[in-house]
A and B are shown apart, each in its own frame.
Chain A
């Protein structure tokens, strides 16, 4: 396997008439997917982008032709940069500038090419050579927990490494149907795209509007016979928060993967109670690695209290994990000792595009544990090993604070708050000047919780120095484009007061 297009070529040869992509407007077979992508490739070559190895932007809407554009750019010998269609002008310009892209394509730009029957998709010659493994595949800018966009550059080789390792662990069914929720400008969606290609699966690109109509969403999953989903926990929680399973349950669904953030245990427990026979797998990755690096499969006999944290589990076969003590820099092997996760894998991103300094700070080559020099990514995620040897997440290094002489994980406070009945979402921030911990809580519709009660309940669960100094009830905890708690926005709200 030299580059990811080999998957597409293979699928078009073996299963030409199988549906590859379907969205609210129609479907494409694997043969059509390949042929249209080749036509887009030719179009770009004629435009002067023949094997130029340049970044080409794509306004990445929820449309099957977005993926045709991605593949077309690869066929032309370039790499793609997905951009959120709703992105504010300022941030968009930042991405354009930082990536140095000359072209930003929309699906309208290729509508004529796609409709033109006169172009032969066979006129395109394979432009990749044997060393394509190290060629750029795509570049996605993520806002990151600090609000400054960074672009992790993935290579063909990194993606193939992930796809092969994951497929060996979780083989897709003979004809799997995947229900895609993650937007194509969101790094997590690359898993859906390439696992589908490798496994010749059908991708149902679920229309966004269905997430506002939860019963119809489940009807859709059933009608399209979706067997696997890999969603962000906020999307999964939607179904349990709105109590959808009382009206309708998924009938063809088998595998539920969750990505991108911690699944609130309360909501996972509701899912498991209503749908006990599904496979639930927690996936952990970051935008500095293709796909994921840790996974935890929820076992039937697992019983979790709402206050428990779901383990991140063990490394995927292509990844090596080392836990490093933050103070001493020593490797941690003991249970229950927290440290930063260092990650080594062939699937690691090549660099933060155009940012040598950031790259050198985050990616280090060293011999951590006496097994030889390796390239590691310092994840900034703090975790510990539990009694089963599974890694358990505690918090982001950035959310780790020193308060009254104690090292505190703001994430731990959030987990404790989320375990209280009536709290749906929450986000914790720290005011370093005034030395105050502030917790923002979004409560359930029927909840009559008020600040003092929450504080009293937290006092029972947390060490006294960890109990928030202020608790603020808020209608809606702000989420960023990836559906994660937006702490940058929370800080803004806080300082605006």
Chain B
């Protein structure tokens, strides 16, 4: 989880990712951020995020992202 927070904070130092729950709904993350996050997740956790997982429910908060990563890790 800390590694994930680091990735996110690098991208948007002004956002408190431990509390923010509307990263997509409030348009804090744009499509280019998402490409970056997905590549970082691949590098750091060795997890490939399929396109169908790129939905607000999985990207609105750091917690949701982490849950998705764990789920994808387990699925392999």
Binding site for B on A (CB under 8 A): 208-209, 211-216, 234-235, 238, 241-244, 246-248, 424, 443-446, 475-476, 479
Given contacts A209-B24, A212-B31, contact A242 B43 (CB under 8 A): no
CB atoms of A242 and B51 under 8 A apart: yes
Given contacts A215-B55, A242-B51, A246-B51, contact A208 B27 (CB under 8 A): yes
Given contacts A235-B31, A246-B51, 5 further A-B contacts (CB under 8 A): A208-B27, A209-B56, A212-B54, A242-B38, A248-B52
B10-34 to A contact mask, C-beta < 8 Å, 1/0: 1100000000000011010111101
Bound-state CA distance A29–B30 (Å) is: 31
Which residues of B, 37-58, contact A by the 8 Å Cβ criterion?
A: 38-43, 48, 50-52, 54-56
- The contact size tier of chain B is 20 to 34
B interface: dominant SS: helix
What residues of chain A lie closer than 8 Å to B27, measured between beta carbons? 208-209
What residues of chain A lie closer than 8 Å to B32, measured between beta carbons? 234, 476, 479
Minimal Cβ-Cβ distance residue in B for A210? B31
Bound-state CA distance A208–B42 (Å) is: 25
Bound-state CA distance A215–B58 (Å) is: 13
What residues of chain A lie closer than 8 Å to B35, measured between beta carbons? 238, 241-242, 424
14 contacts between A and B (CB under 8 A): A209-B24, A211-B31, A213-B54, A214-B51, A235-B31, A243-B51, A244-B51, A246-B51, A247-B50, A445-B41, A445-B43, A475-B10, A475-B36, A476-B36
CB atoms of B54 and A214 under 8 A apart: yes
Q: Which of B30, B43, B52 contacts A212 (CB 8 A)?
A: B30
6 A-B pairs with least C-beta separation: A445-B39, A445-B42, A244-B51, A211-B31, A247-B52, A212-B31
Given contacts A212-B34, A242-B35, contact A446 B42 (CB under 8 A): yes
Q: For residue A62, give the distance in angstroms from its CB to the closest CB of chain B.
A: 11
Bound-state CA distance A209–B27 (Å) is: 7
Minimal Cβ-Cβ distance residue in A for B51? A244
What residues of chain B lie closer than 8 Å to A246, measured between beta carbons? 50-51
Q: For residue A179, give the distance in angstroms from its CB to the closest CB of chain B.
A: 15
CB atoms of B51 and A212 under 8 A apart: no
What residues of chain A lie closer than 8 Å to B24, measured between beta carbons? 209, 212-213
Q: For residue B27, give the distance in angstroms from its CB to the closest CB of chain A.
A: 7
Bound-state CA distance A476–B38 (Å) is: 12
CB atoms of B50 and A212 under 8 A apart: no
What residues of chain A lie closer than 8 Å to B36, measured between beta carbons? 475-476
What residues of chain B lie closer than 8 Å to A209, measured between beta carbons? 24-25, 27, 56
Bound-state CA distance A213–B30 (Å) is: 10
What residues of chain A lie closer than 8 Å to B51, measured between beta carbons? 214-215, 242-244, 246-248
CB atoms of A238 and B42 under 8 A apart: no
What residues of chain B lie closer than 8 Å to A244, measured between beta carbons? 51
Bound-state CA distance A242–B34 (Å) is: 9
Bound-state CA distance A336–B42 (Å) is: 42
Q: For residue A220, give the distance in angstroms from its CB to the closest CB of chain B.
A: 13
What residues of chain A lie closer than 8 Å to B11, measured between beta carbons? 475
What residues of chain A lie closer than 8 Å to B31, measured between beta carbons? 211-212, 214, 235, 238
